[in-house]
């Protein structure tokens, strides 16, 4: 009896009594990311990136002390909703940031919209939020989900591949990426294969692919799925024989596991660790020094979102109470981003450049992404036309 009561009371106390932070706090940011379970690598990168920016500025952004509240959504939409409700109702944050996965993003959009909360996202960018469910308070410092696939589509067109064989898991994100790719690829799609979510062995798909003899292969296989596929692609002797175009498959979080097996694969995204602008170079150097690994784009996105918030706070003199002014300041995006110049579209998504990269060794002999060229300039997403508010 005593034990049960103690345990219940302790847990209750622990969960309800979490202090909100030091009394001097100026601006509270609620950062939601996936920090346990399958997607934890990405979420951790995002937190590391944001923390680096805070650290470099002495825990301040825009001259204001930042109270950084972090919550783990466990890749469960209902946990994400509860975390956001905690941010809004209990912690009374000034803005919500982060969010790793699109299904959690879709779930928290409504509670944030209902509460009139300002949001600065640094990864998930699902199509409905760029289109008919857009919100004047939501800003996405990363990219709309289709963007990377569209970049690869343009790359494939530019390279004049006669046909492309496409492989992706059977879920909404995968289908969106296929649509994004074919929006810009003007050649023939010789195969459209949907694999199981979480599938590990792709030998069957690789055999079928070999038999089809396409000019190029395109895949969207995030996380462990990508590591599995690329390793096996190499072992079937296909790497180097048939060009491999990837989206979210080879990046800073998976390249350490792939090593030289991934050399030669192409990837499409908005930023790479070899970018030659001063903000990016300083970021990469600082990140490598602190965390002893090459930063992934997810870390870069969150770092950049912190810089965005910093610029907005500077513009409003550190005040967030005038919501409209703060949002206008965010929308101005008046800062040097590590991706180069960009602007925000009316739906809160960036109009930015996309590039093609190839996996190659950097000047220290490490396997990393090397810029091949720009494929899309000042690219706006395909859904902004539906955004009306």
Partner 1 sequence: MKMESSIVNARVARPSAGVSWPAALTVLLFALLLLVPVYASVTDSSYVLLQFSRILVFALAAVGLNLALGYGGLVSFGHAMYIGIGAYCVAIASHYGADGGVLHLLLVVVVTALVAAPVGLIALRTQGIAFIMITLALAQMFYFLAVGLKQYGGDEGLPIRQLSRFGALTGSHAGLYLALLACLGASLLLLRRVIRSRFGLILRASSMDARRVRAVGTSPLGYRLLAYVLSAELCALAGFFLANLTAFASPAYMAWTASGELIIMVLLGGAGTLVGPVVGAAGFLLLEEGLKGLTDHWMIIMGPVIVLIVLFLRNGLWGMIVSPREEH
Partner 2 sequence: MSPQLLFMQALNGLQYGILLFLLAAGLTLVFGIMSFINLAHGALYMMGAYFAAATFGHTNSFLLAILAGLGGAMALGVALDRCGFARLYPRAHLDQVLATFGLMLFCNEAVRMIWGSAPIFMSLPDALSNTVMVLGTPYPLYRLLIILAGLLVALGLYLLIERTRVGMLIRAGASNRAMVAALGVNIGWLNTFIFALGAGLAGLGGAMVGPILSVQPGMGDSILIMTLVVIVIGGIGSIRGAFLGALVVGLVDTLGRTVAPALLGRALEQELASTLGAAVSSLAVYVLMVIVLAVKPEGLFPVKKR
- Listed in sequence order, the residues at least 6 apart from 98 whose beta carbon sits closer than 8 Å to its beta carbon are 31, 32, 33, 43, 46, 47, 50, 121, 122, 123, 302, 305
The total of other beta-carbon atoms located within 10 Å of residue 3's CB is 7
Q: Find which of partner 2, partner 1, none residue 235 binds, CB within 5 to 8 Å per kind.
A: partner 2
Q: Find which of partner 2, partner 1, none residue 205 binds, CB within 5 to 8 Å per kind.
A: partner 2
Q: Find which of partner 2, partner 1, none residue 82 binds, CB within 5 to 8 Å per kind.
A: partner 1
Distances (CA, A) of 79 to 10, 294, 370: 21, 31, 38
Considering only 217, 219, 225, 244, the residue that binds partner 2 (CB under 8 A) is: 225
* Nearer to partner 2 among residue 259 and residue 385 (C-beta): 259
Considering only 63, 259, 278, 385, the residue that binds partner 2 (CB under 8 A) is: 259
What is the closest distance, in whole angstroms, from the C-beta atom of residue 225 to partner 2 in the complex?
Answer: 8
The total of other beta-carbon atoms located within 10 Å of residue 177's CB is 27
What is the closest distance, in whole angstroms, from the C-beta atom of residue 309 to partner 1 in the complex?
Answer: 23
Site string for partner 1, 41-80 (x = CB under 8 A): ------------------------------xx--xxxx--
Considering only 26, 163, 192, 288, the residue that binds partner 2 (CB under 8 A) is: 192
Considering only 57, 82, 228, 277, the residue that binds partner 1 (CB under 8 A) is: 82
171 binds partner 1 (CB under 8 A): yes
| C-alpha–C-alpha distance, residues 360 and 252, integer Å | 13
**Span interacting with partner 1, options 4-12, 185-193, 210-218, 355-363, rule CB under 8 A:** 4-12
Considering only 6, 10, 11, 170, the residue that binds partner 2 (CB under 8 A) is: 170
Contact 284, 273 (CB under 8 A): yes
Q: 167 forms bridges with which residues in the sheet?
A: 193, 219
Identify residues 102-121 at the interface with partner 1 (CB under 8 A): 102-103, 106-107, 109-111
Contact 161, 132 (CB under 8 A): no
195 binds partner 2 (CB under 8 A): yes
């Amino acid at each position: 009896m005593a034990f049960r009561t103690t345990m219940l009371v302790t847990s209750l106390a622990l969960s309800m009594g979490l202090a909100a932070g030091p009394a001097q706090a100026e601006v509270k940011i609620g950062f939601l990311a996936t920090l346990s379970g399958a997607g934890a690598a990405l979420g951790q990168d995002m937190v590391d990136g944001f923390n680096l920016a805070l650290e470099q500025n002495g825990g301040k952004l825009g001259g204001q002390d930042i109270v950084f509240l972090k919550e783990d959504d466990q890749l469960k939409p209902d946990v994400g909703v509860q975390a956001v409700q905690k941010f809004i109702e209990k912690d009374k944050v000034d803005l919500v940031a982060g969010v790793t996965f699109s299904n959690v993003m879709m779930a928290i959009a409504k509670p944030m919209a209902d509460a009139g909360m300002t949001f600065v996202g640094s990864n998930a960018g699902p199509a409905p939020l760029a289109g008919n469910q857009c919100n004047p308070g939501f800003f996405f410092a990363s990219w709309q989900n289709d963007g990377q696939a569209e970049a690869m589509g343009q790359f494939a067109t530019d390279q004049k591949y006669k046909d492309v064989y496409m492989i992706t898991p059977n879920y909404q994100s995968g289908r969106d990426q296929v649509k994004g790719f074919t929006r810009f690829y003007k050649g023939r799609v010789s195969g459209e294969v949907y694999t199981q979510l979480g599938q590990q062995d792709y030998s069957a798909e690789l055999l079928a692919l070999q038999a089809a003899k396409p000019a190029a292969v395109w895949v969207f296989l995030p996380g462990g799925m990508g590591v599995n596929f690329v390793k096996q692609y190499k072992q079937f002797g296909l790497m180097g024989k048939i060009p491999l175009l990837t989206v979210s498959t080879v990046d800073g979080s998976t390249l350490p596991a792939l090593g030289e097996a991934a050399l030669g694969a192409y990837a499409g995204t908005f930023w790479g660790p070899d970018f030659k602008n001063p903000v990016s170079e300083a970021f990469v150097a600082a990140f490598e020094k602190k965390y002893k690994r090459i930063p992934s784009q997810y870390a870069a996105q969150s770092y950049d979102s912190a810089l965005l918030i910093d610029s907005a706070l500077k513009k409003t003199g550190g005040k967030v109470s005038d919501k409209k002014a703060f949002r206008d300041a965010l929308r101005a995006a008046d800062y040097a981003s590590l991706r180069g110049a960009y602007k925000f579209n009316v739906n809160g998504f960036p109009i930015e450049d996309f590039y093609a990269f190839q996996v190659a060794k950097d000047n220290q002999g490490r396997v990393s992404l090397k810029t091949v060229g720009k494929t899309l300039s000042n690219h706006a997403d395909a859904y902004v036309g539906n955004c009306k508010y």
